[in-house]
Structure 1
């Protein structure tokens, strides 16, 4: 795969501001483990190889178990995810594959049994962020692993 353009170089101020926004989410109400699961699952759905590669490596570095990452595509059938994680994954899928009729009351009610209003709001911003990153990296075919050394992802030892 060949990268089309380097959006980070072409729009440095927009990139910087969006990166600041994304980094601000780390101090939100959603714990790191769920943030990793959400980023990986949305990236799987959106077919973003760059983001999937990056977030799998980040998750490994932060101690995520490999089998849970392998089970993300089948999280509904897997026994490896807690109810709170399941709620976050359901919300991620609903917002990533936004149905024509919007998010159903059923999905919303199930998620609200596991997350507070603040947590649900912060989770929504998490999902918005990863979907935007997916779109820019898919559009410009950012090469998976191309930022590993700069972002310390080579420490995952997954190459």
Structure 2
């Protein structure tokens, strides 16, 4: 695959601000394992090879079990995810594939049983951010693994 343009070089100030936004999310109310799962699941749905590669490596570095990563695409059938993780994944899917008539009340209510209002707000920003990154990297065909050294992902030893 050949990258179309390097959006980081073309829009460095926008990239810098968006990276700051994404970095700020790490200090939010959502714990790292759920952030990893959300990023991977949205990237799977959006077909973003660059982000999927990046976030699988990050999750591995963060200690996520390989089997859970393999089960993520079929999380509804898997017994490896806790109710809070399932709620986050349902919310991720609903916001990534926005239904024509909005997010259903039953999904919202299910998520609200697992997350406080602050957590749900932060989770929503997490989903917004990964979807934006997915769109940029899909649009410009960013090559998976091309930023591993810059982001320290070579430490995952998954190549």
Normalising to structure 1: TM-score of the pair?
1.00
Which 5+ residue runs of structure 1 have no aligned equivalent? none
Find the counterpart in structure 1 of residue 13 from structure 2.
13
Find the counterpart in structure 1 of residue 45 from structure 2.
45
Aligned runs of 1:42-121 on 2, under 5 Å?
42-121=42-121
**C-alpha distance in structure 1 between counterparts of 2:149 and 2:19, whole Å:** 18
Shift of 1:67: 0.3
Q: Please list the CA deviations of residues 58-102 of structure 1 after superposition, one character each: whole Å capped at 9, or x if unmatched.
A: 000010000000000000010000000000000000000000000
Shift of 1:124: 0.1
Shift of 1:24: 0.2
Moved beyond 3 Å, runs of 4+: none
**C-alpha distance in structure 1 between counterparts of 2:149 and 2:113, whole Å:** 40
- Whether 1:130 aligns to 2:142 is no
**C-alpha distance in structure 2 between counterparts of 1:21 and 1:152, whole Å:** 19
Shift of 1:151: 0.9
SS at match of 1:114: coil
Shift of 1:150: 1.2
Find the counterpart in structure 2 of residue 27 from structure 1.
27
How many equivalent residue pairs? 159
Shift of 1:14: 0.1
**C-alpha distance in structure 2 between counterparts of 1:150 and 1:108, whole Å:** 37
SS at match of 2:26: helix
What is the CA RMSD across the aligned residues, in angstroms? 0.3
Normalising to structure 2: TM-score of the pair?
1.00
**C-alpha distance in structure 2 between counterparts of 1:119 and 1:150, whole Å:** 30
Q: Please list the CA deviations of residues 78-133 of structure 1 after superposition, one character each: whole Å capped at 9, or x if unmatched.
A: 00000000000000000000000000000000000000000000000000000000
